Amino acid sequence: MKKSISLASIFITAIALIAGYMPVRGEDRIMKSFDAKSRVEIKTVSGDCLIKTADIDKIEVDLTYDYRPSSAFEPVFSERGDRLIIEESMSGSNRGNALWTITVPPKTEIRFRSASGNFEAKGLRGRVNIRTASGQITLGDIKGELELESASGDIELNDISGELVVRSASGRINANNIDGDIELKDASGNIEIDNIKGILEIGNASGDIDAAHVTLGGRCTFASASGDARVVLAQTPDFDLEVSSASGSAFLDFGGNSIRGEVEMSARLDEGTIKSPIKFETEETFTRGRQDYIRKTFIKGDKSPFISIRTASGRAVLQE
């Protein structure tokens, strides 16, 4: 008898593994299916959310959760017109976790709100709007209009194209293979970028900006207040470019590409330094506030584009 029970347990375990899901002791699971909607809204307290895409005409929801006490957590589903709304209802003191795995058609609009839940999505081709307090945001292979906000959670972006607006207070922003009309703003976190193209507005207060393989698709700015701003170009730019830092250093590296255009570099007269491989044609001092600055310029080839490299008490550096 014991042998048959053991064989049955092994058989059940094998089936679970083949199905791709192995329940954890004490974990509950809910699976639901809905007709396809134009928008899915997810509101969690601490639950994580994973969005998958598939060529289907429905929405599949797979929820696994484990809370103590179990009565403290309740999933809520509602359909309002062409919207599916998914919420977590929490009561009293509790602890635990939840994972929402939601499979949608690629063009479905996604809206996610959470206090501490993480969000991850791949393959979407519609509008995406995400707001979290401390949760991490991870996006890959997304095309569309994206608006992301996080207080302290990190933001990871890979293979994104379209209109992208990202705002973070203290989390790190890491962006790779990005193309479009891009705005990345961070208060105190670092911004790390590799292979980006488009109209770019990149800025933070106290963190560093590191951008490599940058291709300008319009006028672009990289500005840090107290951190360093480093930009390495993928090709000679055809559009205006500004790289600046207040108390940090501003570095512009042409990455071996030819320098062309009007280049203006400035720094505080008493503290900042300016370095360029090309001799300047004009130099002048000016006053901003109560501080004296020096401005140096040269033109190589055409007068356009206009390239500005500015710092206050740091270094302004141009490299070929």
Can you tell me the mean pLDDT for 124-153? 97
| Whole-number pLDDT of residue 265 | 98
Q: Dump pLDDT digits (tens) for 242-291.
A: 999 999 999 999 999 999 999 999 999 999 999 999 999 999 999 988 89
| Whole-number pLDDT of residue 210 | 98
How far is 4 from 17, CA to CA, in rounded Å? 20
Report residue 66 as tokens.
């484990």
| Whole-number pLDDT of residue 16 | 43
Can you tell me the mean pLDDT for 230-235? 98
Q: Do 312 and 246 contact (CB within 8 A), yes or no?
A: yes
| Whole-number pLDDT of residue 5 | 44
Per the confidence metrics, is the pTM higher than 0.85? yes
| Whole-number pLDDT of residue 26 | 59
| Whole-number pLDDT of residue 70 | 86
Radius of gyration of the chain (CA): 26
| Whole-number pLDDT of residue 11 | 43
DSSP state of 70: G
Q: Judge whether residue 77 has pLDDT over 50.
A: yes
Peptide bond before 106: cis, by omega within 30 degrees of 0? no
Q: Which residues pair with 288 in a beta bridge?
A: 291
Cα 27 → chain centroid:
32
- Res. 123 pLDDT band, cuts 50 70 90: very high
Can you tell me the mean pLDDT for 283-301? 95
- Res. 1 pLDDT band, cuts 50 70 90: very low
Domains of the chain with CATH codes = 23-114 (2.160.20.120)
Q: Which helix (H) or strand (E) holds 124?
A: none
Buried b (16+ CB within 10 A) or exposed e, 78-99: eeeeeebbbbbebeeeeebebb
Of 180, 182, 218, give the one whose Cα is nearest residue 305. Answer: 218
Of 137, 165, 164, 132, give the one whose Cα is nearest residue 150. Answer: 132
How far is 177 from 196, CA to CA, in rounded Å? 6
Q: Dump pLDDT digits (tens) for 183-230.
A: 999 999 999 999 999 999 999 999 999 999 999 999 999 999 999 999
The chain-wide mean pLDDT, for the chain, equals 92
| Whole-number pLDDT of residue 27 | 84
Q: Phi and psi of 12, rounded to 5°?
A: -65, -40
Peptide bond before 305: cis, by omega within 30 degrees of 0? yes
How far is 99 from 204, CA to CA, in rounded Å? 32
| Whole-number pLDDT of residue 20 | 43
DSSP strand E in 14-154: where?
28-35, 39-44, 48-53, 58-68, 73-80, 83-90, 95-104, 109-114, 119-122, 128-132, 137-150
Of 148, 153, 157, give the one whose Cα is nearest residue 192. Answer: 157
- State the amino acid at position 214 in one-letter form: V
Higher pLDDT among residues 296 and 8, named by residue: 296
Of 133, 84, 127, give the one whose Cα is nearest residue 113. Answer: 133
